[in-house]
Copies of this chain bind each other. A is one copy, B any other.
Amino acid sequence: MKLFSDYESEVRSYIRSFPVVFDRADGSIIWDDQGNEYLDFFAGAGTLNYGHNPKAMNQALISYLNHQGILHSLDKATVAKQKFIEKFYQTIIKPRGLDYKIQFTGPTGTNAVEAAIKLARRVTQRGNVIAFTQGYHGLTMGALAITANDYYHQQIYASRTNVYHAPYDGYFGETINTANYIRQLIEDSSSGVSMPAAIILETIQGEGGVNTASKEWLQEIEKLCREKNIFLIIDDIQVGNGRSGEFFSFEFAGIKPDIVCMSKSIGGGLPLAFTLIKPELDQWLPGEHTGTFRGNNLAFVAAAELLTYWDNDELSQAVLQKGHMIKRCLEQFVSDFPQLKMSVRGRGMIWGLEIPVAGFAKQLSRTLFENKLLVETCGKEDSVVKILPPLIIKQAQLEEGLSKIGKGLQMLASRENVAA
């Protein structure tokens, strides 16, 4: 580990929470270089929905490398890209009655967000973007502007420009419909909130603490966007690709975003990102938004292979079933440890266990790591334990992990002597 502290920047982060050197991985299991085995309830922060090293994917990659398939192609046409596009449209886009155009951006989520916002501004000729409390969209300057958490901002960056952070669904409590407020602010030409180019949101705020938007709220936001010709941009980077139980996390609400930002799990762990754009809004000039790695062909190969998971609804069903199980289990914890005043929220296979005792969630994550379970925290003051296993996790592994969480809660709750 000394190598890393000697040579790697102080910015390093997860290595501090999980201070071992990882080597191999398979499905929901990771091994470190000493052969220790860890169960992964973290899934690369939502990048490994299909688990580590899916066999068919790895096989496809090896074949491609043996074939001397072109690896790097900028935005030239390649056979690998062609196959991905074909598979994606046949498996995902067309069956859902959608007709998006696809824009490959630099292969990081933040780049897809930057492209989406630029296009919304370009087409509407409006500068303002409405984003939400506790939203996370990336850390390059255009995405950082709309990322809520102060931790990533510095006054000197002057980074919060051309953005208005509005309250997310439920932010002011259950009785307040924040969609109404947003409508009032937008309809009032003297509100000080300019007519926005776009409203950008996550249907489930992963980094923000697993906050979920309701179907009704999403529909009201969409309606507002339609009336005012505002781009509705769904950032589905963390909770798309089946995490919610459907391929896109917004399907349950019956809405059709103007732009969808995709990344993370789409490439099975290899860098890939793109936006989906309604054809009539695809008003880019050639090359106006580019990037060296927007043709990462290994990721195209991986993605095309992994999309076979969506040839039928088995994965969806499994996610809903396993998600239900997680929910029940977490709710049990809530009632088992009333003194912790915990609460549970989530959808599909992303769940948050909020533990309002200061520092408790963070300590739990450390304890679980000692017990060979990888779990991260999120939300305000890292008070939410985020349950994010690979979607393909086996039933027994899921049970094992949840059981470890229960034991961890037990141990810490007693040790810390939290008053009832």
Contact check, A101 vs B8: say whether CB atoms are below 8 A apart: yes
Contact A106/B110 with A12-B75, A30-B70, A154-B121 known, Cβ cut-off 8 Å: yes
Contact check, B70 vs A25: say whether CB atoms are below 8 A apart: yes
Contact check, B191 vs A165: say whether CB atoms are below 8 A apart: yes
Contact check, A191 vs B288: say whether CB atoms are below 8 A apart: no
A111 interface hit (Cβ, 8 Å): yes
A388 interface hit (Cβ, 8 Å): no
A194 interface hit (Cβ, 8 Å): yes
Chain B contacts for A269, CB-based, 8 A:
71-72
Contact check, A289 vs B139: say whether CB atoms are below 8 A apart: yes
Bound CA span A33–B81, Å: 12
Query: Nearest Cβ in chain B — how far from A275, in angstroms?
Result: 8
Bound CA span A190–B152, Å: 10
A77 interface hit (Cβ, 8 Å): yes
Bound CA span A27–B289, Å: 28
Which of the listed residues A14, A46, A72, A160 has the most CB atoms from chain B within 10 Å of its own CB?
A72
A188 interface hit (Cβ, 8 Å): yes
A300 interface hit (Cβ, 8 Å): no
Point out the residue from B62, B111, B193 that lies within 8 Å of A62, measured CB to CB. B62
**Binding-face segment, A123-131, A314-322, A336-344, A400-408:** A123-131
Contact check, B108 vs A188: say whether CB atoms are below 8 A apart: no
Contact A73/B22 with A11-B286, A164-B164 known, Cβ cut-off 8 Å: yes
Chain B contacts for A287, CB-based, 8 A:
11, 13, 151
Bound CA span A264–B13, Å: 25
Contact A190/B150 with A68-B25, A293-B107 known, Cβ cut-off 8 Å: yes
Chain B contacts for A268, CB-based, 8 A:
71
Point out the residue from B11, B70, B85, B156 that lies within 8 Å of A52, measured CB to CB. B70
Chain B contacts for A193, CB-based, 8 A:
133, 165
Point out the residue from B11, B68, B157, B164 that lies within 8 Å of A103, measured CB to CB. B11
Contact check, A192 vs B47: say whether CB atoms are below 8 A apart: no
Contact A208/B194 with A108-B108, A287-B11, A292-B109 known, Cβ cut-off 8 Å: no
**Binding-face segment, A219-227, A243-251, A276-284, A346-354:** A276-284
Query: Nearest Cβ in chain B — how far from A43, in angstroms?
Result: 9
Contact A181/B172 with A11-B103, A160-B128 known, Cβ cut-off 8 Å: yes
Contact check, A22 vs B133: say whether CB atoms are below 8 A apart: no
Chain A stretch 130-188: residues in CB contact (< 8 A) with chain B: 131-135, 138-158, 160-165, 167, 171-172, 176, 181, 184-185, 188
Count residues of A near B (Cβ-Cβ below 8 Å): 145
Contact check, A111 vs B114: say whether CB atoms are below 8 A apart: no
Contact A114/B140 with A77-B15, A77-B22, A380-B189 known, Cβ cut-off 8 Å: yes
Contact check, B21 vs A284: say whether CB atoms are below 8 A apart: no
Point out the residue from B65, B89, B192 that lies within 8 Å of A160, measured CB to CB. B192
A328 interface hit (Cβ, 8 Å): no
Bound CA span A1–B76, Å: 11
Point out the residue from B11, B109, B140, B189 that lies within 8 Å of A288, measured CB to CB. B11
Which of the listed residues A153, A164, A293 has the most CB atoms from chain B within 10 Å of its own CB?
A293
Chain B contacts for A153, CB-based, 8 A:
194
Bound CA span A244–B207, Å: 42
Contact A75/B14 with A208-B190, A291-B108, A380-B188 known, Cβ cut-off 8 Å: yes
Contact check, B270 vs A292: say whether CB atoms are below 8 A apart: no
8 chain-A/chain-B pairs, Cβ below 8 angstroms: A4-B85, A13-B74, A72-B270, A108-B108, A131-B192, A141-B142, A237-B292, A271-B293
Closest 6 CB pairs of A and B: A165-B192, A141-B142, A72-B269, A148-B192, A13-B287, A11-B284
